[in-house]
Copies of this chain bind each other. A is one copy, B any other.
Amino acid sequence: MTASLELFFDVVSPYSYLASTQVAALAARHGISVRWRPFFLGGVMKATGNQPPATLPARAPYLLRDVQRWAAKYGVPLQFPRRFPANTLLAQRMLTALQSDEVARLAPGFFALYWAEGGDVTDPDTLRGRADALGFDGGALLAAAAGDEVKDRLKATTDEAVRRGAFGAPTFFFDGEMYFGNDRLVLLEDALVASGAMS
């Protein structure tokens, strides 16, 4: 059985975006698979009482600088959205309608839309168009996202993350341990090395 790394993420989260650009290469370096797990960050915040860092006025300008620094370090585009935070419930539900390997193909498209292209991540037509462009049936995903089965599954994933200790995004789990934040990829990689995941 191949060891697996779980990534709980929400398209609304800048540090989820940043981490999402690195996780495939990280996993490949250690010969493990990534299980992409869309959850709803708003639900995590509500359940835990956590607040987004930019809520603190003194912290907001620093956050803008910080995400740009990480984007520069990673060599990925980043344009801070004019509308932030956005309600990503529909986007996360569309992702929830997919299998993990499909999420791995669509989530980067949604992230790019919101974090690099100034797109409206709340707009159904925009999301459908992006899904279509990446080879999915965007209309079918929108329909699935409106159904109770997908709504319940997204809620269950969010509840599961909270139950396992998550309080923000991105949150990784590997080998029974939780890692929170793009800035903990370095500790996660240490754990991958220590586990001898690549054998």
- Nearest CB to that of A61 among chain B residues? B165
Number of A residues near B (Cβ < 8 Å) is 27
Which one of A101-109, A111-119, A178-186 is at the interface?
A178-186
Kindly identify which residue among B58, B167, B177, B183 contacts A48, using a CB–CB cutoff of 8 Å: B58
Taking Cβ atoms with an 8 Å cutoff, the residues of A that contact B are 48-50, 56-59, 61-62, 65-66, 69-70, 73, 162, 165-167, 177-178, 180-181, 183-184, 186-187, 190
Question: Mind listing 17 A-B residue pairs with CB under 8 Å?
Answer: A48-B58, A49-B57, A49-B58, A56-B167, A58-B165, A58-B166, A58-B167, A61-B165, A62-B167, A66-B180, A66-B187, A69-B190, A73-B187, A181-B183, A183-B183, A183-B184, A186-B186
